[in-house]
Amino acid sequence: QERRRTEETLRATQSEMIHAGKMAALGQMSAGITHELNQPLTAIRSFADNAQILLDRDRLDDVRENLRQIGTLTDRMATITGDLKTFARKSPDTVGSADPTTTIKGALSLFTRIARARGLQIHDDLGDDLPPVIGEEVRLEQVFLNLFRNALDAMEAQSAAVPRRLWVTAETTPETVSVSVRDSGPGLSPENLHKAFDPFYTTKTAGKGLGLGLSISERIVNDFGGTLSAANHPGGGAVFTVGLRRAEADRRPMAASA
Ligand code: ADP
């Protein structure tokens, strides 16, 4: 009886802790969303107030500019709520297969234009013969673009004298394809390593980062049965590894049972 009572107390304590944890996460998330949405909202309000004064003074070009700014700010708010939808969405029941080479090269070609202008050297060691993986190309491209942008941001925070380099490599096992994105930036601090995947965790200045990139990327990769991990490279810089499941490996047992 004594043991049963202890077990009951333990179970009650555990469920209280889970509840407290959920409430804390909800609080943190609400604070983040409120903060991010309030900034553009306040700005829209002042642009609108200003536009009325400008209209009274017949300064139509300035009114037009204010309206343009309001448009940009609503786009920004739409991006925030759009990103949040990724969290609300249920994982898809079935996912097709994607060609990792096409996907990553697609992301790289979108990124190269931005990168070249900022003096970044890209070392693409992917090869052309990576096997298909479980996933969806557009969403995977979003993951890689986010990793490339983060790498560039980290390197730009350093002195311009430090060479900016990005390496993209892949490793294949019978079950998985792991793609690593390494940069020559400052690497990840212990706090970054601990918190980088938390929603709304960012070390970037307001307006530059929302802190949602990695948590959304992790969510996407998890939807495909894969993993996303972060580490410091022994040679310096951060390395993010996207581990994806091979599509053929997944289909093999199904074919055998058919
Ligand atoms: P955001 O880019 O909006 O800050 P992320 O979730 O993509 O949000 O990243 C969270 C944080 O992780 C960044 O603010 C940064 O501190 C850290 N981080 C991500 N990628 C790197 C990297 N390649 N090198 C160093 N720090 C990084």
Amino acid identity of 68?
R
The Å distance, Cα 56 to ligand 1 centre, comes to: 46
The residue whose CB lies within 8 Å of the most ligand 1 atoms, and thus the one to mutate among 192, 200, 210, is: 192
Tell me, using a 6 A CB cutoff, whether residue 183 lines ligand 1.
yes
Query: Which residues are bridge partners to 243 per DSSP?
Result: 178, 227
Q: Which position has the higher pLDDT, 110 or 231?
A: 231
Tell me, using a 6 A CB cutoff, whether residue 237 lines ligand 1.
no
How would residue 91 be classed by pLDDT, with cut points 50, 70 and 90?
A: low
Pairing of strands 120-125, 164-172: parallel
Instruction: Give the model's pLDDT for residue 256.
Output: 43
Instruction: Give the model's pLDDT for residue 4.
Output: 93
Tell me, using a 6 A CB cutoff, whether residue 236 lines ligand 1.
no
Query: What is the rounded end-to-end Cα distance, in angstroms, of the chain?
Result: 52
The Å distance, Cα 99 to ligand 1 centre, comes to: 26
Instruction: Give the model's pLDDT for residue 77.
Output: 87
- The pLDDT of residue 130 is above 60: yes
Q: What's the pLDDT tens digit per position in 215-230? A: 889 988 998 999 999 9
Tell me, using a 6 A CB cutoff, whether residue 226 lines ligand 1.
no
Tell me, using a 6 A CB cutoff, whether residue 239 lines ligand 1.
no
Q: The tokens of 128 are what?
A: 């052309």
The Å distance, Cα 150 to ligand 1 centre, comes to: 6
Q: What's the pLDDT tens digit per position in 175-186? A: 999 999 999 999
Tell me, using a 6 A CB cutoff, whether residue 181 lines ligand 1.
no
Burial (CB count within 10 angstroms: exposed 0-12, middle 13-18, buried 19+), residue 88: exposed
The residue whose CB lies within 8 Å of the most ligand 1 atoms, and thus the one to mutate among 189, 214, 240, is: 214
pTM of the model: 0.73
